Structure 1
Amino acid sequence: MNENMAECVANPTKCKLLLEIYSKGQATAKQLTDTYSDITHATLYRYLKKMTADGILKVVAENQIRGTVERVYAVADDLLMDMQRMVEENNGPAYMMLFTKFVMGLTEEFRQYTSRSDINLLQDGSGFSVAPIYATTEELTAALTEMGKIIEPLLTNEKTPERDLHNIAIITTPPKKEKK
């Protein structure tokens, strides 16, 4: 797992951009701005430039729009191959590094939220929980598939004044083995 990717996953803003581009297949800066109005133009363009230079994103098209060039971004093939290689090689250290950065990104989102003066813990739709379960791999896969079906319709929702951006992070811990 490449360090640039791990840093990207740890940064909540970069991670949002990466996930949005990945889920849509490709996106322009304008589309990303429309989705994430909380990200300033300067920050957006700085991150897109850095993520492209780091090999996380690639420019798949350039469209001439009124005297300027609009770039269309997609997730770099190398990045997807790195993820696939990590799984194929069963690379525990790379997996741990990616997970650590993922958790750090979530921690930063909660830190930013709890630092604000206008939070409402009951009304803002934030929370976390743990549900210890015993399951076979097949049962676990079936449950996660069902959760994905529940969330799927929300993935196509557009930003509106009534809709706030939330990230749903699902972590399935490794199986605990009892000591013999």
Structure 2
Amino acid sequence: MDGTDLAKIVMNPVRMRIAQYLLLHEHGTTVQIGEELSDVPKASLYRHMRILEDAGLIQVVQENKKRGTVEKVYKLNQDNPLDSKEPGKEEIGQLIHSSLLGIMGEFQRYLKRDDVDPRKDMISLSSVVLLLSDEEFQEFFGKLGELYSSVLDHQPDGKRKPRKLTLISSPVTEEKKKKEGLGREERKC
């Protein structure tokens, strides 16, 4: 299986959500993942899990016997087959497209709920164009990584709730630089 095939497997929105779950929780059973992805039918979830396992993107780390069946505990494969492949323009474009569709899907599911309150839920959208050298940009990302690391291991305490923060670094076209210049655009709902 080449990098293009693997990229297509990963770029499915449901499989991306499975990978995100395993990234966040380190491991999980199909039942646990299904509780988080409650909008995905069970049969579809099992099919997506099998596809990810067959592709070598997730692996079974434990098997538990439960009521005459075997429950598998999965984790992301540390030897990710995608890591050894250099993605081409098409794969990168598909990954970006799929990621953005996944984010849009999460917002659609959020907006279908009865208890939607964007201000209370602190939904925001922020965009800024920074003028940084490659070294400054790497240092900036390093500091962001440290900030993320400082809160990644927080445990539930009654006040905390899951919050998803998506960071996208995108190119700035020459046309956009001329029209908009540097600065910040922020929208809070």
For Structure 1 versus Structure 2, the TM-score category normalised by the shorter chain is 0.7 to 0.9
Change (3 A) 1:54 1:108: same
Contact 1:57 1:74 in 2 (8 A): yes
1:55-90 deviation per Cα after TM superposition (whole angstroms, max 9, x unaligned): 432223323356542312122467x23244135xxx
- SS in structure 2 at match of 1:174: coil
Distance in 2 (alpha carbons) for counterparts of 1:159 and 1:29: 22
Change (3 A) 1:37 1:159: farther
Distance in 1 (alpha carbons) for counterparts of 2:25 and 2:117: 31
Change (3 A) 1:160 1:21: same
1:70-121 deviation per Cα after TM superposition (whole angstroms, max 9, x unaligned): 312122467x23244135xxx1111111011001100111122223332112
Change (3 A) 1:161 1:30: farther
Deviation of the 1:166 alpha carbon: 2.0
Alignment partner, residue 139 of structure 1: 136
Higher strand proportion (structure 1 or 2): 2
Contact 1:27 1:72 in 2 (8 A): yes
Which deviates more from structure 2 when the two are superposed, residues 53-62 or residues 165-174? 53-62
Alignment partner, residue 183 of structure 2: none
Matched letter for residue 10 of structure 2: M
Question: Which structure has the larger Rg over C-alpha atoms?
Answer: 2
Alignment partner, residue 5 of structure 1: 10
Q: Does 1:109 align with 2:106?
A: yes
- SS in structure 2 at match of 1:130: strand
Structure 1: segments with no counterpart, 5+ residues = none
What are the within-5 Å matches in structure 2 for residues 140-179 of structure 1?
140-159=137-156, 161-177=158-174
Alignment partner, residue 81 of structure 1: 81
Change (3 A) 1:83 1:153: same
Matched letter for residue 5 of structure 1: V
Alignment partner, residue 184 of structure 2: none
Change (3 A) 1:163 1:25: closer
TM-score by length of 1: 0.73
Alignment partner, residue 63 of structure 2: 62
Contact 1:29 1:45 in 2 (8 A): yes
Distance in 2 (alpha carbons) for counterparts of 1:132 and 1:107: 23
Contact 1:86 1:94 in 2 (8 A): no
CA RMSD of aligned residues (A): 3.2
Q: How many aligned residue pairs are there?
A: 170
TM-score by length of 2: 0.71
Alignment partner, residue 186 of structure 2: none
